Chains A and B, each alone.
Chain A
Amino acid sequence: DAKTTQPNSMESNEEEPVHLPCNHSTISGTDYIHWYRQLPSQGPEYVIHGLTSNVNNRMASLAIAEDRKSSTLILHRATLRDAAVYYCILRDNNAGNMLTFGGGTRLMVKP
């Protein structure tokens, strides 16, 4: 499986934007970039995914580098409820259907 690299932790102030980076230099052409987050004492939940183009949804935006070797999850206005571990995951739609989680980034939001 192609590997992703994320910072262990990040801090943000409430109501400010947050940019969570992810490096995936060995990404293959058929790998989709998925983001999940895990709130305290809960199971992971889907945030967003993309292949090549930037993506927006009600939760966040995903900015994908032109060479696809990195991506950034953008929370436009962090709230205290956004404090969670954020996982960047590559999933090859052509081979297997599992999600392989790495260590993720623990986001702390300060009031």
Chain B
Amino acid sequence: DAGVIQSPRHEVTEMGQEVTLRCKPISGHDYLFWYRQTMMRGLELLIYFNNNVPIDDSGMPEDRFSAKMPNASFSTLKIQPSEPRDSAVYFCASRILTGTEAFFGQGTRLTVV
């Protein structure tokens, strides 16, 4: 398996634009997590899914952020409208139900100017 795949790797957008980040988890994994990393706040959990159903979205900063998982092999994190303070590295991770180890993607570096 190629691991957790995120796209794009880098995204530069203007304030006010819509941004969509994509994640393909490892096949057969039951959990999918979205994290955000900044220098100031470190790694923060935004939301996670179990079998495509959102379980905990308490980390989503505000209504501008939304996440979906239409099927077991794909998830999106959307920011609309984007703001400069959303600039961060966004990580997706997946894990099997009975497993311990979470596998992280390479991340998407988002810059909002």
Contact = CB atoms under 8 A, between A and B. Distances in A.
Interface of A: 32, 34, 36, 42-46, 49, 87, 96-104
Given A42-B106, A43-B106, A98 B56 contact: yes
Contact of B45 (A32, A46, A98, A103): A98
A39 B15 CA distance: 30
Given A102-B42, A103-B42, A97 B104 contact: no
Which label, helix, strand, loop or mixed, suits the secondary structure of the B interface?
A: strand
Contacts of B31: 97
Which of A34, A44, A103, A104 has the largest number of chain B CB atoms within 10 A? A44
A99 B56 contact: no
A98 B105 contact: no
27 contacts: A34-B100, A36-B102, A42-B104, A42-B106, A43-B4, A43-B91, A43-B93, A43-B104, A43-B106, A44-B43, A44-B91, A44-B102, A44-B104, A45-B103, A45-B104, A46-B100, A46-B102, A49-B100, A87-B43, A96-B56, A97-B50, A98-B33, A98-B56, A99-B45, A101-B42, A101-B43, A104-B42
